[in-house]
Amino acid sequence: MKATAIASPNIAIVKYWGKRDERLKLPMNDSISVTLDRSLYSETTVEFSKAFSADSMQLDGAEASEREMKNVALVLDCLRKKAKTGMNARIISRNNFPKSSGMASSASGYAALSAAAAAALNLQLDSRELSIAARLGSGSASRSVIGGFAWWKKGQDEDGSDSYAVQVADESHWKDFRIVTAVVSEEKKPVSSTDGMKLTLETSSLYRERLKKLPGTVSRVRQAILGRDAGQLFRLAMEESDSLHASMADTKPPLIYINESSREIMKRVNELNRENGMIAGYSFDAGPNAHIFTTEQNVNRVIHSIKGLAERIVASSPGKGAEVVA
């Protein structure tokens, strides 16, 4: 009972920040993202056997941490329950990109894990069930199950059965859409997103204002994606990232994830847009690395404008969701 799956990271245009249920990873707000192409992916093999005395996981050759194994168990238990089995799993996962690529591997990793484990157990799951399983590992993983542009609905139900990602448009909908990732620092973030979002939820009044505004933003971002309205999408993405980082800064004590180079990149992108019309939009997660949304014809201009500020720059296209490959 063994299967292998691959999945790619996703970059949120409307960000997930704050949980209403810590264990089930139910979010306070809907989020929207774009899944990246297969130049970056996690590949995960899962084998179930009665012979295994416990679950185990190797991640890029090293044993997974206790925190990781807790989240892995949540994903596996959800699938074992569906398959009515108590068998333990041996998991081998690797990323074709290093941590220093500026890309978090949790979204692609848990999406690949869910797809591989479901296949190993011979479960025929739809994307809703897979997205829910991946969400239990890491919230943002619910979106990497889906290709192209994904919309994770926060849902209402206490058991999380309506909190999963759906597709807004597939990876071929907007062929010249690009995501430029600029790695400005390879340092580990000082506060994990799990701890950071909890603190923001508990202490920031600006965050409550943000939550009121978000349903409108989600709807406008969806419309911009469907209409391939690049200028509108880039403007909304920057406003959304700024709003998130304002709430982070309003957290007590303040959460400052961006640094001097990040701020300089914001300035350069704004200058670029002033000179050329809205051709790019920056976005920052819980870290200083920039993700800049743009279109193919402007990728070189974007890269040129931030030269010298980043240690490494990678351009990606929209890509496919999780797939079972063996």
- Under the rule (CB under 6 A), what is the footprint of ligand PMV? 12, 15-17, 31, 104, 106, 138-140, 193-194, 285-286
Q: Which is nearer to ligand PMV, 3 or 182 (CB)?
A: 182
Query: Toward ligand PMV, which CB reaches closer, 43 or 285?
Result: 285
Q: How far is the CB of 19 from ligand PMV (least distance, A)?
A: 9
Q: Which of 112, 165, 166 is nearest to 137 (CA)?
A: 112
User: In angstroms, what is the minimal distance from the CB of 147 to ligand PMV?
Assistant: 16
Q: Is 277 exposed, middle or buried (0-12, 13-18, 19+ CB in 10 A)?
A: exposed
Report in angstroms how near the CB of residue 84 gets to ligand PMV at its nearest. 29
As measured in angstroms, the least distance from the Cβ of 232 to ligand PMV is 20
Q: Which of 16/149 has CB closer to ligand PMV?
A: 16
Q: What are phi and psi of 152, to 5 degrees?
A: -90, 110
Identify which of 288, 262, 287, 7 has the alpha carbon closest to the alpha carbon of residue 130. Answer: 7
Nearer to ligand PMV, 19 or 320 (CB): 19
The tally of CA atoms less than 13 A away on the side-chain side of residue 256 is 6
In whole angstroms, the minimum distance from the beta carbon of 198 to ligand PMV comes to 11
Shortest gap between Cβ of 48 and ligand PMV (angstroms)? 25
Contact by Cβ (8 Å): 247, 205: no
Rounded Cα–Cα distance for residues 40 and 105 (Å): 9
Q: Which is nearer to ligand PMV, 85 or 192 (CB)?
A: 192
Distance CA 283, CA 126 (A): 31
Q: Toward ligand PMV, which CB reaches closer, 28 or 121? A: 28
With both helix axes pointing from N to C terminus, report the angle between 230-249 and 260-276 in degrees, rounded to the nearest 10: 150
